[in-house]
Structure 1
């Protein structure tokens, strides 16, 4: 059994969590053997298959899509590859711009010029992106807040009563974007536009519901969008299919902010480089970004705010009251 690894060592080698390995097994994507004592043991074949799953997840595929691809079904592969190509091309453009900037500064130095601090700062800012800066609304005390380098997909979360809804609405105002509240309804004029997307999601296991169509029509815009509890009215398979789709929007898509407390929407094990988590603490300290790595500031508090769709369904009617 020396060539086999236990779950902890296998997860460490793959750079994922034990929870992710368990999930892959539950979905029938992995089948580790059991030791005489009943412990899972992952051999070379299991690690190779798990590595393929991790790579496909990084491309934005849901687990249902991963299962089809591993069986040789390439349907749905083109949109993900196109989005990945777009992300690579965007990074290439950033690098070319940075190289041009460095070349210009070296040219100035060769002719006796000296770059200023602002010149050097601009050169190092490979991903300037959008940013917002404002005084935090109630329940905060007006502290200054700044969010730089806004990524294509930002999750906003926090415990009940933490002020995340007010923060999200303020971000929408500052970006001149749209805020989709919980009372969203589908725009009849956009039904034909979203029909291919609905069909793709249904193929990936989603349930075609009015809530899903209302959300999709609300996302049909070229401006930034902030969505209040994106999982509202969506079952677990639909949430999983939806977030896989949103991850494939690409770096040139307008910024999307999704408020959520669902672990199916915000899966800390699969966050990509174009995704950010914005956390609102329970004590009304200023919101801050949380890196998706255990032991980083705010990670444990963030993880405690997330729950499965089944658990979230039991707390839908809970209302936080500030006395």
Structure 2
């Protein structure tokens, strides 16, 4: 090795690239990067590998699947062209927003020149504009009518809670209170697989969107299944301004869950309609991978009102959320089970595993 070359360990490379170490391992598994190894077997990243990895990260940020990234790096430009068209449209929206913000700044300066003080909250809204979507309502049973407010709703929102916490009832109520929202329940499976087929056959535009999403997910490592198609039929439906999905991971294996959340995160970055995902899977809600346009709503097991939880260790409620999450394999093995822990300090506690 050249002593003048800088080498980074995996954690250092991930931090510099702004991704998780898990993402770097995935890129390596897919053959997109090949870090060197020390004599002790540790991965190290030199300048050349970091340049390659940065290109992969940038292509992923544009919304390309791992298979599409591979094709682009091999010299096939078609997938990149489509991604750049979408990115250009997003930049146009951001430019429009900046122009509007500049106009507001000019207006405030004109007011100050006339000796007028801005109205309360006007400067705060300028620096941190509202997403424009909020909801407030009385919580249903089992809470007993407590008032709940959710302001500046993010693009991607996770609803987490243990078995019996009331999260399903909360999610249904949320869908009813949000303007033009749709609740996609587990009846997407109970109605029968044929129902999805009939629906897709009758709506060719929906079928095209489902097929495109399905192809992306399969390229990303997902597995095509009737459960996945039934879910996509709900996710791709036109009309609702927001979607609330009951147990989004239901019937999906680990690879499919990881591919699905990658797709939904990519869409969230592109400004898609807000999604509320009920989940207890650590593959869907990877706390270490949460972005700035995501949020968590936690339903406590003691039926205290739902609360928003910040996604970092030490934040109120963080450990409770983490304890609700499990890998897809564990979730499948323990679905519907309740494990009782022995009495401790005079108190009997139950840990619900679903």
Normalised TM-score (structure 1): 0.83
Which contiguous aligned blocks of 4+ residues in structure 1 show a shift greater than 6 angstroms? 319-323
**Cα RMSD between the aligned structures?**
3.2
Q: CA deviation at 1:103?
A: 1.4
Mapped pair 1:239 → 2:257:
yes
- Secondary structure at the residue paired with 1:30? coil
Matched, 1:222 2:239: yes
Map of 2:332 onto structure 1: 313
SS for the counterpart of 2:158 is strand
Q: Partner of 1:39 in structure 2?
A: 42
Range with bigger deviation, 282-291 or 209-218: 282-291
Q: Give the alignment of 1:60-75 within 5 angstroms.
A: 60-75=63-78
Distance 2:136 2:264 in 1: 26
Counterpart Cα distance in 2 of 1:315 and 1:216:
25
- Asked if the contact 1:84–1:248 (Cα under 8 Å) also holds between the matched residues in 2, the reply is no
Shift of 1:172: 0.5
**Could you say if the C-alpha distance between residues 17 and 171 of structure 1 is closer, same or farther in structure 2, counting changes exceeding 3 Å?**
same
Unaligned runs of 5+ in 1: none
Alignment-derived partner of residue 226 in structure 2? 210
Partner secondary structure for residue 244 of structure 2: strand
Query: Quick check: 1:83–1:249 contact (8 Å CA) kept in 2?
Result: no
- Tell me the distance in 2 between the aligned counterparts of 1:290 and 1:72: 43
Secondary structure of 1:117 counterpart: coil
Higher RCO (CA < 8 A, seq sep 6+): 1
Alignment-derived partner of residue 170 in structure 1 = 173
- 2:347 aligns to what? none
1:197 maps to which residue?
209
Alignment counterpart, residue 6 of structure 1, candidates 6, 9, 21: 9
**Which one has the largest radius of gyration?**
2
Tell me the TM-score normalised to structure 2 length.
0.77
Question: Does the residue aligned with 1:253 lie in a helix, a strand or coil?
Answer: coil
CA gap 1:143/1:104 in 2 versus in 1, 3 angstroms: same
Instruction: Describe the shift of the 1:78–1:288 C-alpha distance in structure 2 as closer, same or farther (beyond 3 A).
Output: farther
**Secondary structure in 2 aligned to 1:154?**
strand
Alpha carbons of structure 1 residues 132 and 70: separation in structure 2 relative to 1, 3 Å: same
How far residue 13 of structure 1 moved from its aligned partner, in angstroms, is 2.6
Distance in 2, matches of 1:140 and 1:298, equals: 18
Maintained 8 Å contact 1:95/1:126:
no
Asked if structure 1 preserves the Cα contact closer than 8 Å seen for 2:200 and 2:206, the reply is yes
The one-character-per-residue Cα deviations of 1:85-136 (angstroms, maximum 9, x if unpaired) are 4443333333222221221122223234332214434434423320012233
In the alignment, the residues of structure 2 paired with residue 232 and residue 255 of structure 1 have an alpha-carbon distance, to the nearest angstrom, of 20
Deviation at residue 207 of structure 1 after TM alignment: 3.5
* CA–CA separation in structure 1 for the residues paired with 2:260 and 2:304: 31
CA contact (8 A) 2:65 2:216 kept: no
Equivalence for 1:179: 183
Q: Deviations over 1:280-311 (max 9, x none)?
A: 34454443334444554444443443333333
Counterpart CA distance in 1 for 2:173 and 2:271 is 23
Q: Which runs of 5+ in 2 are unaligned?
A: 340-349
